[in-house]
Structure 1
Amino acid sequence: MSSNQQQNANRNQQQQNQNQQNQQNQQNQNQQNQNQQNQNQNAQQQLGGAGSNQAAQNL
């Protein structure tokens, strides 16, 4: 393999590695966003449930 071919192979491998890292980072970010949304929904449900219980007690 010539020097140019080796350099091209190295560049291609580096690009593939970067693409994989970018994809993994995006998946991680998506998962974190989903987790945060779920936590927000759970908090809202808990607040709603607490309000309902308080209203029932007031009756």
Structure 2
Amino acid sequence: VKCDYCMDRIDKGLKPACVTICTSKCLSFDKTEHMPLVKRERYAKAMAALKGAAIFE
């Protein structure tokens, strides 16, 4: 069966099943206008986690 983006779930305000069950949180699904904000938040969290880290060459 091909992916239909779980339109029945989306119509109910839910996320697609693949996003819900993804244990590594690699998949995301949101309205297009929210995605730039999501990307900025993820970047900020990643940078905060690296605070104080040293780079060795």
TM range (shorter): 0.3 to 0.5
User: Which has the higher Rg, Structure 1 or Structure 2?
Assistant: 1
Question: Which structure ranks higher in relative contact order (CA pairs < 8 Å, sequence separation ≥ 6)?
Answer: 2
TM-score normalized with structure 2 length: 0.36
TM-score normalized with structure 1 length: 0.35
